[in-house]
Amino acid sequence: MNIIVAKGAGFCFGVNRAANIVMDEAKKGTKVQTYGPLIHNPEYIQRLSEIGVTSANSPEEIESKTIVTRTHGITRELEIELAKKNLTVVDATCPFVKKVQKLAEDYTKRGYEVIILGEENHPEIISVKSYAPLAHVVNSTDDVPPLDKNNNILFISQTTQSTDKYHKIGSFLLKTYPNVETINTICGATENNQNEVSEMAKEVDLMIIIGGKESSNTSRLREVAEKFVKTHHILNARELQKEWFANVGTVGIAAGASTPDFSIEEVKKYIEKFNDDDDK
């Protein structure tokens, strides 16, 4: 069985940056917490807790002098609340998420109706909506509310959404309303990974997508892959099942932007081991 690993598999720029920020803070010797899980990957969060970095899920749970904010961003209200405390707040929000926050805020101030492709309860959208409380969050053209044709409309996206969906809803808005501006805020890592996975899925007999089950960008990779081929989304190697690989000539492995290299390596080794066992 051939095993192909996607080139883009693993930490993206924003996650790498956040991981380095946390490590640098942890090395200073003071207790460090992240606000909420730093990224949506329980395996990595477990590794952080092994070096003493835990997460606080509310201001009351903060018991450290240093708090690192998550890649998905926090709300404006929480930012103000943390600033009032006697704390060092280190901002690890991905700069691409910051850009979405800023666009939503600026265009709202300019009187635009802001429409965001995203998941209402995702931390990134919760943070973005705190900058633009009147923004509409949509997941399909059906979710777009009836809007005043005289209004200016901005259409943006959560950074980790499906590019296909973004273009579909964008075209619908452009056809339906006269004053629409679209700014594609899906980040490069998400877009490249989706493109790579869609090409890979056409060539292989099975796709394995590794990443947290709550990770938006990982779930999008699963959706892209399963359009073409049988696909399993797993968190780690322990979720692999040997039967999946019966009669598989080539397996493709891809991983979300918050999946650490050690998880990818481990999955690859397990699959190689299934292969070796079959050859005996």
Interacting residues with ligand F3S (CB under 6 A)? 12-15, 71, 94, 96-97, 159-160, 187, 189-190, 217, 257
Nearer Cβ to ligand F3S (35/96): 96
Torsion of CA 167, 126, 124, 259, to 10 degrees: -120
Closest by CA position to 187, among listed 172, 166, 208? 166
Concerning whether 119 is annotated as a catalytic residue, the answer is no
CA 171 – CA 265 distance, rounded (Å) = 40
Nearer Cβ to ligand F3S (25/191): 191
Given the residues 113, 124, 191, 196, the one annotated as active site: 124
Q: Which residue is nearest to ligand F3S (CB)?
A: 14
Q: Minimum distance from CB of 29 to ligand F3S (Å)?
A: 27
Structure tokens at 222: 């699963």
Nearer Cβ to ligand F3S (66/185): 185
Indicate the SS3 state at residue 262.
helix
Q: Minimum distance from CB of 170 to ligand F3S (Å)?
A: 19
The alpha helices in 149-256, defined as continuous H runs, are 163-176, 188-203, 216-226
* Residue 59 backbone dihedrals phi, psi, to 5 degrees: -55, -30
Q: For residue 94, give Cα distances in angstroms to 56, 193, 194.
A: 19, 17, 19
Nearer Cβ to ligand F3S (71/231): 71
Residue in the structure block whose two tokens are 């679209």: 182
Count the residues in the chain.
280
Q: Minimum distance from CB of 17 to ligand F3S (Å)?
A: 8
Q: Supply the residues annotated as catalytic.
A: 124
